[in-house]
Amino acid sequence: MKTVRVAVVGAGVIGFSTAVCIAEALPSCSVTLLADKFSPDTTSDGAAGILFAAKFPDIPLERQRRWFKDSFDHLLAIAQSQHSPEAGVMLSSGWQIFKEVPADKKPFWSEFVIGFRSMTDRELKRFPDHKFGQAFTTIKCECTSYLPWLEKRFRKAGGQLQQRRVTSLDELSSSYDIIVNCSGLGSKMLVGDNQVYPVRGQVLKVEAPWLQHFIRDGDGKTYIYPGVHSVTLGGTRQEGDWRLQVDEGDTESILERCSRLEPSLREAKVLSKWVGLRPSRRNPRVEREVVQLQGRRVPVVHNYGHGGWGVTLAWGTALVALGLVRNCLREMPPQAKL
Ligand SMILES: Cc1cc2nc3c(=O)[nH]c(=O)nc-3n(C[C@H](O)[C@H](O)[C@H](O)COP(=O)(O)OP(=O)(O)OC[C@H]3O[C@@H](n4cnc5c(N)ncnc54)[C@H](O)[C@@H]3O)c2cc1C
């Protein structure tokens, strides 16, 4: 029997991953996912969805390695199964190139991706402005397919959906026993977190089916990611910029930078332009607290602030959030679980 009512706020890759983990692992919970925007209208939907990561400054590296590994293994299993096309999860091989040799030639995630190695001089020759490069196979997870696939999994596990804007956690306190906050940038308003800020990213989708390898400049600003239906070209990283409109200056700059790396892109047809705001924070917030809401003490589990790495870390941090929900259940008075 389902006895504990759990609300998950947010229908991006973090919210759906977390909701699926909870609904599948805890049959005693009735899980409702609430959000004002669902796929294809979330930030997650526009992400290229390539898996690798940067280091967050204050989180022990071992924990970040675990987040990455759990996500990678979960998505690799999907990529190697019959679900791959429906879920939009596939292997992707290519190069990350650097104008200057980086201090850390072997990033912490290098042992989890497949076949990580330094590029040879012969491979680097086509990038005359770059001195160093890394070649590897990682995963590309396209959220326009992955989110509907997770939604199906969630419903199969008994989960329910509600489209609504939550203006305050107070609204949820009488209907739910545990609240899980996966509202991304929305956390600035919803839980008053002023540490969350946008990093604007503009990307283009182009038709270039001849491209099979990703190319990413190590500065994170210029990238070419071939996908199932198109190639994503990026990008921009504009901190504190809330503009959601396409900026034609950015469009030109993206096309110019990407074509310098891959001249054949000068022939590619632009299919669409998109802007998203990365829900950034110095460190993602994955923790629980107890909040006084309408006179009740309600456990709240937070899972947001993944910046430019939400697709990469979604499953790993969802598993941590699941553990935190389990801890809330353990600490509930017995009558709450009846
Ligand atoms: C251009 C670009 C490229 C990217 N490329 C990559 C990449 O290659 N790899 C990678 O790992 N990451 C990438 N990212 C980052 C990635 O998109 C994010 O980290 C990720 O989407 C964050 O997911 P989320 O679920 O936290 O947020 P979102 O997808 O924004 O979802 C937030 C959800 O919360 C809901 N919500 C918020 N507030 C409320 C409220 N008050 N009431 C109800 N619902 C609410 C929203 O409606 C939405 O459903 C990229 C981002 C951008 C912009």
Q: Is the pLDDT of residue 38 over 60?
A: yes
Q: What is the mean pLDDT of residues 225-237?
A: 96
The predicted-structure confidence for 245-283, as pLDDT tens digits, reads as follows 999 999 999 999 999 999 999 989 999 999 999 999 999
Q: Residue 333: pLDDT band by 50, 70, 90 thresholds?
A: confident
Q: What is the mean pLDDT of residues 211-220?
A: 95
So what's the pLDDT on residue 267? 86
Q: What is the mean pLDDT of residues 185-208?
A: 98
Ligand 1 close to Cβ of residue 49 (< 6 A): yes
Q: 304 CA to middle of ligand 1, Å?
A: 9
pTM of this prediction? 0.97
Which residue from 167, 183, 233, 304 has its CB within 8 A of the most atoms of ligand 1, so it is best to mutate? Answer: 183
Q: Binding site annotation covers 312?
A: yes
Q: Is the pLDDT of residue 336 over 70?
A: no
Nearest protein CA to atom 50 of ligand 1, as residue:
47
Q: Is the pLDDT of residue 338 over 60?
A: no
Using a pLDDT cut of 90, give the percent of the chain over it. Answer: 95
Q: 307 CA to middle of ligand 1, Å?
A: 8
The predicted-structure confidence for 53-105, as pLDDT tens digits, reads as follows 999 999 999 999 999 999 999 999 999 999 999 999 999 999 999 999 998 89
Q: Residue 1: pLDDT band by 50, 70, 90 thresholds?
A: low
50-54, 137-141, 330-334 — most confident range: 137-141
How many C-beta atoms lie closer than 10 Å to residue 101's C-beta? 12
The predicted-structure confidence for 277-312, as pLDDT tens digits, reads as follows 999 999 999 999 999 999 999 999 999 999 999 999
Would you tell me which CATH number, out of the four given (3.40.50.800, 3.40.50.720, 3.50.50.60, 3.30.540.10), belongs to the domain 4-196+281-337?
3.40.50.720
Give the separation between CA 9 and CA 309, rounded to whole angstroms: 19
Q: 282 CA to middle of ligand 1, Å?
A: 16
Q: 295 CA to middle of ligand 1, Å?
A: 32
Domain boundaries, the chain: 4-196+281-337
Q: 310 CA to middle of ligand 1, Å?
A: 7
Which residue from 39, 44, 166, 191 has its CB within 8 A of the most atoms of ligand 1, so it is best to mutate? Answer: 44
So what's the pLDDT on residue 123? 95
Ligand 1 close to Cβ of residue 318 (< 6 A): no
Provide the token pair at 116: 């990580």
Comparing 234-243, 288-297, 326-335, which segment has the lowest mean pLDDT? 326-335
So what's the pLDDT on residue 335? 60
Ligand 1 close to Cβ of residue 305 (< 6 A): no
Ligand 1 close to Cβ of residue 236 (< 6 A): no
Average pLDDT, rounded, for the chain: 96
The predicted-structure confidence for 129-185, as pLDDT tens digits, reads as follows 999 999 999 999 999 999 999 999 999 999 999 999 999 999 999 999 999 999 999
Ligand 1 close to Cβ of residue 166 (< 6 A): yes
Ligand 1 close to Cβ of residue 308 (< 6 A): yes
Ligand 1 close to Cβ of residue 312 (< 6 A): yes
- Measured from the Cα of 16, ligand 1's closest atom is 25
Q: Residue 332: pLDDT band by 50, 70, 90 thresholds?
A: confident
Q: Residue 3: pLDDT band by 50, 70, 90 thresholds?
A: confident
Which residue from 311, 312, 315 has its CB within 8 A of the most atoms of ligand 1, so it is best to mutate? Answer: 311
Q: Binding site annotation covers 44?
A: yes
Nearest protein CA to atom 4 of ligand 1, as residue:
47
